[in-house]
Chains A and B, each alone.
Chain A
Amino acid sequence: MSLLVLIRTSWKALRRNVSRSLLTMLGIIIGVGAVIASMSIGSGAQAAVLKQIESLGANLIIITPGAISSGGVSLGSGSRTTLKLNDITAISRNVFDIQAVAPFSSTSAQVVAGSTNWFTSIGGTTPAWLTVQNWELSQGQFFTEDDLARSAKVAVLGATVGANLFPAGGAVGSTVVIKSVPFRVVGVLASKGQSGFGRDQDDQVVVPITTHQQRLTGQSWINTIMISAASSDTVSGVVDSTERLLRLVHHLTPVQPDDFTVRNIANVQQVRAAAVQTQSLLLAAVAVVSLIVGGIGIMNIMLVSVTERTREIGLRQAVGARGRDILLQFLIEALSMACAGGIIGVGIGIGTSFLVASLGKFPTIITGFSIILGFVSAAATGVVFGFYPARRASLLDPIEALRYE
């Protein structure tokens, strides 16, 4: 019996009982829909995380003063002054595979420009910060090493600050006053938007770290050291050698804990990515369970169908159908049902994915692979769970089958 005829026969049998066929497919539909939806959410989250890492500066390592806790005892504020500018010098001289290293201290203040003013955070850093942050300027230029050495009263505005203080433009060359100190604006940063943590990165003013320490805060320590490694492969090596170097520079004995914390932005983001992965894994588990339940549904209905059509099977055997013909007929019937469920499931999965994207403001990416995977798992479910009923049909005794009432 040709395959085409078999497929036509199966479809006819399925169309005979549309609502029953649809109900049977429900498990498969949900399963395949969940496969597509979970994979689109997973890959969407991964892509978002990659984009965030890129915008934060690729291969970024952040060093903060003071361990978060030591043997369960949290350290006092005095321990938070451990990072100094000479740590930066030591790192840039002794640690290899570094693209750039920059300090970053931050305070908050009112910035006044003529009759307008704006409350924002004031960061102190070095020109290397631009490289570390992977940032560009939209107007003017960044302050120079010379400005740094002279503790020059120059400032670079974030895009948001620039737009609020100088709505008509002309920020570069103007003067702004921060904590009664006049600063000359030398540049405006390009807009970068929200950071991975929801903060507006454009809402800040950057000045030389020397000026920051002497004129604005009076503190001799720095809040953060940012390092960008030469490549993603060297990040962990840079973290290790930086930790060893800082222990040396800080004269720590082997029994003393680190008085600083080295964090790798990629790691932080990977943890977030892993959390999303776990969620999509959970959805995948739902998908597997649905497919199994759907498969059992198909098996159940196929067994009913074989019983209902016992006489038909007997007649087919009498007119010359071999075991293989009967087996294939019912297997293809189960497969058709699973595939139809698969197609509907793919549609529902894509729909769910778009719904999540628009309602949850969550990026989703539907890949061709997930569609193929969803469809193939549906088909495989049909074959696996359709086999037993089909085999039972093929092994029926023709005499018994013809006599069946």
Chain B
Amino acid sequence: MTSGESLIEVRGLTKVYGEGESRVEALRGVNLVVRQAEFLAIMGPSGSGKSTFMHVLGCLDHPSSGSYRLAGEEVSGLSRDQLAAIRSRQIGFVFQSFNLLPRTTALENVELPMLYAGTQQKQRDERARLLLEEVGLADRMDHRPNELSGGQQQRVAIARSLANGAPLLMADEPTGNLDSTSSEEIMNLFLRINRENGITVVLVTHSPEVAAWSRRVVTFKDGVIVDDRPNAGIAS
């Protein structure tokens, strides 16, 4: 797949929770196309539907109706296990609270997605070491999360998200728990991954400072996209 081809194609996507009186329409007909190697920020206030949209994009949740094609494959009707396989191959996640396994070394945390992808032990080890070197943690490989700073933990999480070579990286408030220096380091890392490896990065945030790093900002309100504009981005 070359740069410029669409990685994400969303058409008429809706998500409805509950029934009758308690019926809530979280997404009400969302259309979005994201090309390969884009750096996108999704913004919007709480309850705007941006979290729900991220769950659907991340193949963690089914849409109620509409179509979602990821890397050319329709995923809206897939089963739980089929979605798990898609997540394994196509999507890397970075969370606000890092979500590293406690009492487990950085190296083993990075290896985790490869365990479920069935990668051989030797290759797992080699790739995890390489990724940790790339995020600047060559000397922290055998440290456990409680022995690492917040910024370092998030860099382990980013290395983990790249483990299976997924073309799409989804980050949910990745700097929400970090100080400004660490935040800048992490955003720089995303930028580098996006530029050097051609990986599509989708940031979900309510912070304009974070969104400023992206090249395109999509704004949600009341379950629909109300704004979609290019952004200058921040050159590192």
Contacts and interface: CB of A to CB of B under 8 A. Distances in A.
Q: Do A and B come from one complex?
A: yes
B81 interface: yes
Interface stretch (A162-170, A180-188, A297-305, A314-322): A314-322
Given A319-B88, A320-B85, A399-B55, A312 B116 contact: no
A319 to B, nearest CB: 4
Contacts of A323: 80-81, 84
B81 A315 contact: no
A320 B117 contact: yes
Contact of B61 (A1, A314, A399): A399
A322 B81 contact: yes
Contacts of B160: 319
Interface residues of B, number: 25
A316 B55 contact: no
B88 A16 contact: no
Interface string A301-339: 000000000011011111111111100000000000000
Nearest to B100: A315
A1 B60 contact: no
Contacts of A359: none
A318 B86 CA distance: 10
Contacts of B80: 322-323
B105 to A, nearest CB: 11
A398 interface: yes
B99 A324 contact: no
A321 B116 contact: yes
A276 interface: no
Contact of B116 (A1, A12, A402): A1
A326 to B, nearest CB: 10
Contacts of A5: 115
Interface string B129-152: 000000000000000000000000
Contacts of B163: 319
B93 interface: yes
B116 A316 contact: yes
Contact of B93 (A2, A311, A318): A318
Contacts of B113: 319-320
Contacts of B118: 1-2
B101 interface: yes
A399 B60 contact: yes
Contacts of A324: 81
B111 to A, nearest CB: 9
A322 B95 contact: no
B11 interface: no
A318 B81 contact: no
Given A320-B85, A399-B55, A399-B61, A315 B101 contact: yes
A322 B83 CA distance: 9
B85 A316 contact: no
Contacts of A319: 87-88, 93, 112-113, 116, 160, 163
Contacts of B116: 1, 316, 319-322, 325
Interface in B38-93: 55, 58, 60-61, 80-81, 84-85, 87-89, 93
A4 to B, nearest CB: 9
Contact of B101 (A312, A322, A325): A312
Contacts of B192: none
Contacts of A315: 99, 101
Contacts of A325: 116
Interface string A232-272: 00000000000000000000000000000000000000000
Interface in B92-123: 93, 95, 99, 101, 103, 112-113, 115-118
Interface of B: 55, 58, 60-61, 80-81, 84-85, 87-89, 93, 95, 99, 101, 103, 112-113, 115-118, 160, 163-164
Given A318-B60, A322-B80, A402-B95, 4 more contacts: A312-B101, A316-B112, A316-B116, A318-B87
Interface of A: 1-2, 5, 12, 16, 311-312, 314-325, 398-399, 402
15 contacts: A1-B115, A314-B99, A316-B112, A317-B84, A318-B58, A319-B88, A319-B113, A320-B85, A320-B113, A320-B117, A320-B164, A322-B84, A323-B84, A325-B116, A402-B95
